[in-house]
Structure 1
Amino acid sequence: MKKVHSDIVQFRGTHYDFGFMQGELLKQSYILPNRRKQRSATSRQLMINEAEAQQMLTSFAPRVWDEINGLADSLGWKMHDAIREFGGYYMEYTRSGCSIFTQSNFMVRNYDSSPEGYEGRFALYQPTDGGYATIGPTMQITGRTDGLNEKGLVMGYNFINRRNSEDGFICNMIGRLVLENCATIDEAIELLKELPHRRSFSYVLLDRSGKSVVVEASPRSVVMREANVSTNHFELLTEENRYQTDDSKRREQTMQLQGQSLTDAYSAFRLLNDSDQGVFSTKYSTASGTLHTASYFPHSLEVGFAIGPDRLPLMLDFHQWLQGNRLYAKRINGKIDTKLPFVHMAEV
């Protein structure tokens, strides 16, 4: 078992200042040099049209654009490089797994992907220049893999397919935009219909109404269905599915069957996090192993978070943090059974 951690990042202020602060942190991190090596190894062009990306960011995410400017200034980078690294538009993204279970007052989510793409950052951000305060793990620094905002909106996404991609935002930036700009499920659905999508993903949403929906989004269509379980296949846009959906359907059926008898959030957390329940995945070599399990509570604004299997969640009180109280924890520690390197922990 390899010891793994996520660093907790806390900030209150403007988006530009948030970006600048993150740039200072990244100067001491392995993340950026390791990402450069990964790009060189794959020899893939990560962005085709910088002008289009800038236009999309300034149109749909002007405050995130300020954050990227802060990152660029702190790191001494040209904007071309900052957009490519942090813009979340028209970029390659490692495929992933993921399982999500909801009830009226909580969401529990397994984030399944490759350790080599997991940057180990968990951010609490309260902006002073517009947008809702958010809490959740980051991806590509500016994006979010899942999370909760101050209005009690919860979001998590599931990978579906990378075939037939088009120009658009990738999943983690879409997650960030939903959490920072939407107070309710209805607002989030409208935004998801408006945004251009790079890949096919399901976005699972829960708010204080107690309703849970799965938004099936591809570059060609966005539709919604009410559901409390989601894995890695569409139920409505079936033409967008991968050829192999057996494991996705198995995890879905496991959660549906066992979820019928669950009465509390901790039992749901155990269903997804325990290694012997059939939902937690150890397929790290195929970019679909479970890296973290998170639980989000829209009414109390609490978050539970664990890295690796068979662990108690570290409970974080976002409501108290919003009142001005600082979290004293600096890291979330865990263990994962893999030999693959984590991009934030050592030189790869």
Structure 2
Amino acid sequence: MQTIYSDVKQFRGSHYDFGYQQGLDLKQAYILQNRKKQWNIRQPRFDIHETEVKRIVQPIAPGIWDELCGLMDALQWQMVDILKEFGGYRLEYKKSGCSIFTSSDYMIRNYDYHPKTYEGRYMVFQPNDQGYATIAPSQRITGRMDGMNEHGLAIGYNFIHRRRPKDGFICNMIARIILENCKNAQEAIALLQEIPHRHSFSYVLLDKNGESYIVEASPRSVYIRTDQVCTNHFENLVEENRHHLKDSKRRQQTIQEETNATTSAYEAFKLMNDSKRGVFSTKYKQWAGTIHTSGYFPKQLKAWFALGSDRDPVIFDFKKWLSGKNFTIKQVIGKVDTSLPFIHMERI
């Protein structure tokens, strides 16, 4: 069992300034040193062409392109290297888990992945140039693992497979683009139907209207359905599923069986976060261990967050933050049952 942390990063201003500040922070962090070592070990299975990526990204997310420019200037890198590390387009993705449970009032999500990919950055950003304010943990710096925006749109995603990829955005950048550009689930669905997908993922959406949608998205097709529970298989695009679905269906059944008895958000959070309830995973070596549990409340504009199992959530009042009151908490601390190193905490 080891203690881990996630830094709470708050920023109000332009995307370029946000990117520049992140670049300065990253110069002092372990993350980029460890990523460089990872790139030296494995060759990327994709190509980066700056003009093409700019052509794709700018019309959809011009602010994020400005953020990438800020990172480039602060780190003094070439843009091709910025896009390889932070661009969120045409990047490879390894297997992972993840489980999501929604009601009309909340979304609770377990983020399951490998510790050496976890950045430990909980980002709260209010842009003054374009796009909506967001609260979310980061992935690959510019992407988001799950999150909520100022209009109460919440999103989480679950891995399906990475076979037969096509040119397109990866999951964490798609989540970021959705949060910054869409007010509600219907707008998000429209964008998910339009945007190019590199891999196959389920995107779970919840907004202030209380309707939960699951968007099954692959490089070849997109299907929309409504449901409260989502794990790591498609219900409709079944031809896209992996062959081994036993654990995904077990977690889905476990959550479904508890649904009627789960009468409060706290009970739902404990169902997902309790190490003895069958949803929280300790398969860290298999790239599928639960690192954090998130909760989003679109009607209240509150976010819950916990690292590791058997924790009470840290509660963030995003509505107050939007009015100008910064959070006093600087770090969320938790414990995970693994000795594997985390990319933001030590040199790997």
1:183-242 CA-to-partner distances (Å, cap 9, x unmatched) read: 111000000011000000000000011100100000011110000100000001000011
Shift in Å, 1:177: 0.5
Opposite residue 37 of structure 1, the aligned amino acid is: K
Equivalent residue, structure 2, for 1:28: 28
SS at match of 1:220: coil
Indicate conservation of the 8 Å contact 2:50/2:79, yes or no: no
1:292-307 → structure 2 map (5 Å cutoff): 292-307=292-307
Alpha-carbon deviations, 1:309-336, whole Å to 9, x = none? 0011011111110000011111110111
Equivalent in the alignment of 2:200: 200
1:130 aligns with 2:127: no
Mapped contact 2:50–2:83 kept (Cα < 8 A)? yes
Verify: 1:217 aligned to 2:217, yes or no. Answer: yes
Map Cα deviations across residues 157-202 of structure 1 (whole Å, 9 max, x no partner): 0000000110000000000001110011100000001100000000
Q: CA offsets per residue over residues 16-70 of structure 1, 9 Å max, x none?
A: 0000011111111000010010111123345343332222111221110000000
- Tell me the distance in 2 between the aligned counterparts of 1:151 and 1:264: 23
1:18 aligns with 2:25: no
Map of 2:55 onto structure 1: 55
Q: Does 1:332 align with 2:338?
A: no
Where does structure 2 lack aligned partners over 5 or more consecutive residues? Answer: none
Alpha-carbon distance between aligned partners in 2 of 1:237 and 1:46, rounded to the nearest angstrom: 25
Aligned to 1:263: 263
CA RMSD of aligned residues (A): 0.9
Q: 1:7: how far off?
A: 0.7
**Other structure's SS at 1:11 match:** strand
TM-score using structure 2 length: 0.99
Q: In structure 1, what is the equivalent of residue 90 of structure 2?
A: 90
* CA deviation string 1:80-116 (max 9, x = no partner): 1111111000011232100000000000000000001
Q: Give, in whole Å, the separation in 1 of the partners of 2:104 and 2:296.
A: 11
Distance in 1 between the 2:159 and 2:175 partners?
13
Question: Aligned AA for 2:161?
Answer: N
Q: Which residue of 1 aligns with 2:4?
A: 4
In structure 2, the partner of 1:282 is: 282
Alignment of 1:44-193 (within 5 A): 44-193=44-193
Q: Normalising by structure 1, what TM-score?
A: 0.99
Secondary structure in structure 2 of the residue aligned to 1:276: coil
Sequence identity, in percent? 56
| 123 and 346 in structure 1: CA distance in 2 versus 1, 3 angstrom threshold | same
Q: Distance in 2 between matches of 1:292 and 1:46?
A: 29
Unaligned runs of at least 5 residues, structure 1: none
How many corresponding residue pairs?
348
CA distance in 1, matches of 2:88, 2:183: 22
Q: Would the aligned equivalents of 1:53 and 1:90 in 2 still touch at CA under 8 Å?
A: no
Cα contact 2:165–2:219 (8 A) shared by 1 = yes
Does the 8 Å contact 2:100/2:107 carry over to 1? yes
Q: How far apart are residue 339 of structure 1 and its match? A: 1.5
SS of 2:70's equivalent?
A: helix
Letter in 1 for 2:211: K
Q: Counterparts of 2:36 and 2:218 in 1: how far apart (Å)?
A: 29
> Which residue does the alignment assign to 1:273?
273
